[in-house]
Amino acid sequence: MTEIIDGEAVASEIRDDLTDAIETLTAEGTRPGLATVLMGDDPASETYVNMKQRDCEEVGIEGIHVDVDGDAPPEELYETIADLNDDPEVHGYIVQAPVPDHVEYREVIRRVDPAKDVDGFHPENVGRLVAGDARFRPCTPHGVQKLLEAADVETEGKDVTIVGRSDIVGKPLANLLIQKAEDGNATVTVCHSRTEGLEEKTKAADVVVAACGVPELIDGSMLSEGAVVIDVGVNRVDADTEKGYELVGDVEFESATENASAITPVPGGVGPMTRAMLLYNTVTAASEQTGIDVELP
């Protein structure tokens, strides 16, 4: 039997613990504030930021949303960023990716105050993470670590194959998993679109993390028996449904369950964890900025 790792349930526990920390901060005069910035009107991004705002409301974080016209010059986005950097009620914020083609995301990230960079994407924060002194763990990699912990999957001494080398997931997760730490100490292989012999590398892994954005790239035949599978992919594929699409992961779920000992579903696996860890980073930011100590899950 394959265990289905319930990301909704784990995320809900984390949100409950964070609610206590948020109450402590609020009682001491600081209600944590999280802003989301969306440039343009990408429908998937709109859904994501709406969910993030709903999460804020649920746990007692002050949620602020800023829309920037998708055709506006980059300077308009930079002004929004400067305002958020100066706003004492905003402890953390994110600029939802992707941004329109005429805006360079790298430049956007450089302008975010690193102390408010709850995505953990600013070069200073990336450097700190690689050095083993992370200020904020990027939300999806941190969520993956928390899911493994919740499923009692130890990474120490294990072979982990990550499929995908993005700045948002693959690279930071590889760095976290090789760190000398209880939730690290793994031997990590990072695969990508130019990797030769992908199947050999996934088959050799105790844990496979799929984060390449290719619908159902990895099937059961590419997994060793007993492998743990974490599917980060969220792909909209055409389907005969009311919305005209359905969500599938980077793993072919049905065949994967023939070999996997545990697997995350899509949706309901990594997605809710990413959102929970954004709240976690916001609470961390508020605590750091005010010097009020709180207990974190």
- Contact between 145 and ligand GUN by CB under 6 A: the answer reads no
From residue 242 to residue 281, the character string flagging contacts with ligand GUN as x (rule: CB under 6 A) and all else as - is: ----------------------------------------
- Contact between 287 and ligand GUN by CB under 6 A: the answer reads no
Among 84, 168, 207, 247, binds ligand GUN (CB under 6 A): 168
Contact 120, 129 (CB under 8 A): yes
Would you say 168 or 266 has its CB closer to ligand GUN? Answer: 168
The per-residue b/e assignment along 95-125, b for 16 or more CB within 10 angstroms, e otherwise, is bbbebbeebeeeebbebbbbbbbbbbbbeeb
From residue 83 to residue 122, the character string flagging contacts with ligand GUN as x (rule: CB under 6 A) and all else as - is: -----------xxxx---------------------x---
* Token pair 């709850």: residue: 118
DSSP 91: -
- CA dist 259 and 263 (Å) reads 10
- Residue 279, SS3 per DSSP: helix
Shortest distance (Å) from residue 36 CB to ligand GUN: 8
- Contact between 139 and ligand GUN by CB under 6 A: the answer reads yes
Would you say 94 or 207 has its CB closer to ligand GUN? Answer: 94
Would you say 15 or 122 has its CB closer to ligand GUN? Answer: 122
Shortest distance (Å) from residue 291 CB to ligand GUN: 27
Shortest distance (Å) from residue 94 CB to ligand GUN: 4
Shortest distance (Å) from residue 196 CB to ligand GUN: 28
Helices (H) and strands (E) in the chain, counts: 10, 11
- CA dist 274 and 121 (Å) reads 14
Kindly report the length of the chain: 297
Maximum distance among all Cα pairs of the chain, rounded to whole angstroms: 56
* Other CB atoms within 10 A of residue 256 CB: 24
Sign of the dihedral defined by the CA atoms of residues 99, 52, 168, 225, in that order: negative
DSSP 150: H
**Binding residues with ligand GUN: total (CB under 6 A):** 8
- Contact between 175 and ligand GUN by CB under 6 A: the answer reads no
Shortest distance (Å) from residue 218 CB to ligand GUN: 20
- CA dist 77 and 133 (Å) reads 30
Shortest distance (Å) from residue 284 CB to ligand GUN: 16
Would you say 98 or 127 has its CB closer to ligand GUN? Answer: 98
Would you say 47 or 221 has its CB closer to ligand GUN? Answer: 47
Residues serving a catalytic function are: 52, 96, 119
- CA dist 197 and 134 (Å) reads 33
Would you say 262 or 270 has its CB closer to ligand GUN? Answer: 270
Burial level of 54, CB count in 10 A (0-12/13-18/19+)? exposed
Give residues in contact with ligand GUN (CB under 6 A). Answer: 94-97, 119, 139-140, 168
